[in-house]
Amino acid sequence: MSADTFPDTNPARTLQRKVLRVLAMAQILGAIGTGATMSLGAMLITDVSGSSAWSGMAMTMGALGAALLAIPLARLAQAKGRRVSLSTGAWIAVAGGVTVIVSATMTNLLLLLVGMTLMGSGSALNLQARFAATDLATEATRGRDLSLVVWSTTIGAVAGPNLFEPGERLGQVMGMPPFTGGFIIGGIAQLLGAAVYLIGLRPDPLLTAAKAHSAGGASVRRTKRTSVGGFSLLRSSPAAKRAVLALALSHAVMVALMAMTPVHLTGHGASLSLVGLTISLHVIGMFAFSPAFGYLTDRFGGRVVVLTGQCTLLAALLLTMLGSDNHLLVSVSLFLLGLGWSASTMAGSAMVSAAVEPVHRPRLQGISDSLLNLAGAAGGAAAGPILALIGFNGLSTALIVPVAVAAIAQMDRR
């Protein structure tokens, strides 16, 4: 048996199909929970703080929370399996939502920021779920299996924001502060997702894969080698370095340009409906085509698809550089931005899973997700000052640098 392949037998395929169904169902619920509160956080922080200057902290604290929790959740997966790790992440996200509601009642900004940080666990577990799809996958299907779970996020990501108004009505009936009703709906969705993980992931895919790997002749005893840290794995594997670099830089580029696009469009007279359409196109680009990129990863290899993603990101940046005053071109650019991110993320994630043996994967995956979220937070934080200093087309020009770095890294043949 190869180091990174689960045996392609009928029982194995049956179990993998079950795992994919469970992960997809839980991902839909998790995405509904995240989507139902995604924009409410910025409005709630503005309401509690009394200043719009704090509004960007909602996304920043969420990304920071996802980065901080990615490694502990990965370690928990290593020790107890995906079932325990993913359900724990959902419970932490629920605790964050409760903290947000309490902080709004108390008008306590610091507690609100803590709640937003804990809610970042929802993003961390969604990222880990895509890796759970690869635990029992074969080399021939790893990219497609991962991408199908990511694709299911589209359903929740579209449905979640449409629950803003029902959530507000629910909050009013319960006598809650403004912008908090959606957090109840989000919490319920996350609790249901936790139940799906706990009930559905039996047997646990990661523990099953580790057992199969051990039966194939590899020891999984907790020796110094098997307990090696994620950063050590990253340093020792050129393939892992390339994959993680592509994931982190692509995410930073996506967050930086996406976060500033509504600001740019509204500043140039675009209607809110056009802004909403542009972001919707962006989300479609991010998730709707992920199965295609998963198939291409399995067919042609991760490097080819990552390079395709970087070329698509470059096309998006060139459009905004040359047509920043054209609303149509900016909308097309955001669609391409999502498409390029999707290609790079599907291929990069599959490459991370393939870079090391199953017993080591959770630690490397945790480091990968942590760096991805930190890069996104840094990209979002830097985008505002860059926009103010050199404008939207200048921001697009600056973002060509990380795209070029990610592309050049794929040329390393080690």
pLDDT of residue 219: 46
pLDDT above 80 for 323: yes
pLDDT band per the 50, 70, 90 thresholds, residue 237: confident
Q: For residues 279-291, give the mean pLDDT.
A: 85
Residue 263 has pLDDT above 80, yes or no: no
Checking if the pLDDT of 392 tops 50, the result is yes
Q: Which domains does the chain have, with CATH numbers?
A: 1-220 (1.20.1250.20), 228-414 (1.20.1250.20)
Q: Are 137 and 16 in contact (CB under 8 A)?
A: yes
- What the block records as the tokens of 358 is 């199953």
Mean pLDDT of 209-223: 60
Cα–Cα distances (Å) from 171 to 48, 162, 194, 268, 273, in that order, read 16, 15, 23, 35, 25
Predicted confidence at residue 113, as pLDDT, reads: 92
Q: Is the pLDDT assigned to residue 99 strictly greater than 70?
A: yes
**Is the Cα torsion angle 128, 130, 132, 135 positive or negative in sign?**
negative
- Which among 338, 337, 345 is positioned nearest to 302, based on CA atoms? 345
Mean of all residue pLDDT scores within the chain = 84
| 3-state SS, residue 410 | coil
Q: What is the pLDDT of residue 225?
A: 44
pLDDT-based confidence at residue 222 (cuts at 50, 70, 90): very low
- For the segment 393-412, the average pLDDT, to the nearest whole number, is 92
Q: What is the CA radius of gyration of the chain?
A: 21
> Most confidently modeled of 63-72, 276-285, 340-349?
340-349
> Exposed, middle or buried, 224 (CB in 10 Å: 0-12/13-18/19+)?
exposed
Confidence of residue 83 (pLDDT cuts 50, 70, 90): very high
